[in-house]
Amino acid sequence: MAKIFVLVNEDIYGPYSMDGLREHVSAGNFNTSTLCSTDGGDWVSIEELPGYRVALPPPPLKVDEADFTYRGFMLGEVAESRIRTLAIYGALVGFVCHLLLWLSHANKWIQLEGDAVNLLKSPFSALYTPFSILLAYEAYQLIREIPTSFSNSVGKQFEIVTLLVVRDIFKGLSYINVTDEWSLDGNLKLLLLECLTFLILFYTSMNYRKCNISLMLSTMEVDVLKTYVKSKRIIAQFLLLTYFLIASLAFGGWLMGVFNGQGDADRRIFFLDFFTVLILADILILLIFYKYSDDFYALARNTGFVLATVILRVAIGASGVSAIILFIVSGVLGIAILRISLHFYNAPSARGRHVSA
């Protein structure tokens, strides 16, 4: 068996076997340019040592880009472009129609009873309809992000909740009674808290948009990663089907409420059920990730994402100050997870390390 000696800073280390030398190079104690000698031979670099190089494994099979970029039925670029156009025009038409309904109700051209009157109290209420349509489009965008990036889909969740809070702010403006007295009634206090919540959630969503942590390297092999992405694509397809079902039932239930003297709209309509299903999808994705990877860093990060989503779901179902506090907690938690992930992530370095003193 060959006895190999290694020269580092005029100090000689060894002897090592060939396997032992490879282990030291893998550990970073030596690099392939370090000088070595075999049984009294001349000094040569480790990479030039006869027998050091081992046969490389065969290269991976050709990888189709579609395996990682294909999102699934009705989630591709063409479908997204058409749905985006439909959402924009729908928001414009919805805004005009809502404004006309408010004008007709204000002039008593039409009579509306029940809780639905809350949507016609002021012209600001007309913003409720276009924001609702844009929120539905954002929910679709969230589903599109699931096959390609779990972290981006979490960022979309914060974007949706941010718009939900904005919609509540516009609706709440119609309840504000402006007087000459310097006082804060309950509606105004809640409105101020909602504005603060909007700023925190907006900051959170912009952080996720700016910091693409999906670029962080995964410990998954290529074939395993393909299977993982395929699993997320299947989940996204089922979630899309559920999305249309929940939207249809929510809209139909709201119309029935209008005819029965109810019909007031709040964030729990559609989004309470949608986020419930979304949490189940997030947990399923997390369990699948556990199956294919034992990377504690990524597992803890994704678990934190799911926790933030659960808090968002609870906040949507809550009311008053309780909902505001939960939204803020979720936003702060989302920012903390993102910042901690970026702070402690170290990208692999191509530079070799020398033996330490």
Tokens representing 35? 């000088």
pLDDT 10s per residue in the chain (357 long)?
668 899 988 888 888 888 888 888 888 888 888 999 987 788 999 888 887 876 566 666 666 667 677 888 899 999 999 999 999 999 999 999 999 999 998 898 988 777 778 788 888 888 888 988 999 999 999 999 998 888 888 889 999 999 999 988 887 777 776 655 655 666 788 888 999 999 999 999 998 888 765 544 455 677 788 888 899 999 999 999 999 999 999 988 888 877 776 767 788 889 999 999 999 999 999 899 888 877 777 788 888 989 999 999 999 999 889 999 999 999 999 999 988 888 876 654 443 433 333
Same domain, 169 and 277: yes
pLDDT of the residue at 178: 60
Same domain, 238 and 335: yes
Same domain, 18 and 135: no
Same domain, 74 and 42: no
pLDDT of the residue at 347: 53
* Best CA proximity match to 244, nearest among 285, 281, 277: 277
Distance CA 82, CA 36 (A): 65
In one letter, which amino acid is 322?
S
Same domain, 259 and 314: yes
Q: Is residue 97 part of a domain?
A: yes
DSSP three-state, residue 319: coil
Q: Is residue 176 part of a domain?
A: yes
Question: What total of structural domains would you count in the chain?
Answer: 2
Q: Is residue 271 part of a domain?
A: yes
- State the residue range of the domain holding 37: 4-48
DSSP of 175-244: T----SS----HHHHHHHHHHHHHHHHHHHHHHHHH--GGGSPPS--HHHHHHHHHHHHHHHHHHHHHHH
Kindly report the backbone phi and psi dihedral angles of residue 62, in degrees, each rounded to the nearest multiple of 5, phi listed first.
-55, 130
Q: Is residue 82 part of a domain?
A: yes
Q: Is residue 354 part of a domain?
A: no
Same domain, 82 and 207: yes
Instruction: Encode pLDDT of 211-266 as tens digits.
Output: 765 544 455 677 788 888 899 999 999 999 999 999 999 988 888 877 776 767 78
Tokens representing 212? 């693409």
Whether the bond into 60 is cis, omega within 30 of 0? no
- With the C-alpha atoms ordered 228, 286, 149, 134, is the resulting torsion angle positive or negative? positive
SS3 of the chain: helix, strand, coil, percent, to 5: 65, 5, 30
The answer to whether the CB of 159 falls within 8 A of the CB of 140 is no
Same domain, 85 and 41: no
Distance CA 70, CA 144 (A): 10
The answer to whether the CB of 170 falls within 8 A of the CB of 95 is no
Same domain, 90 and 18: no
pLDDT of the residue at 353: 39
Q: Is residue 134 part of a domain?
A: yes
* Best CA proximity match to 334, nearest among 305, 303, 296: 305
In sequence order, what are the beta bridge partners of 16? 4
In sequence order, what are the beta bridge partners of 109? none
* Best CA proximity match to 271, nearest among 167, 151, 121, 195: 167
Same domain, 110 and 253: yes
- With the C-alpha atoms ordered 104, 108, 113, 114, is the resulting torsion angle positive or negative? positive
* Best CA proximity match to 316, nearest among 286, 274, 284: 274
The answer to whether the CB of 232 falls within 8 A of the CB of 150 is yes
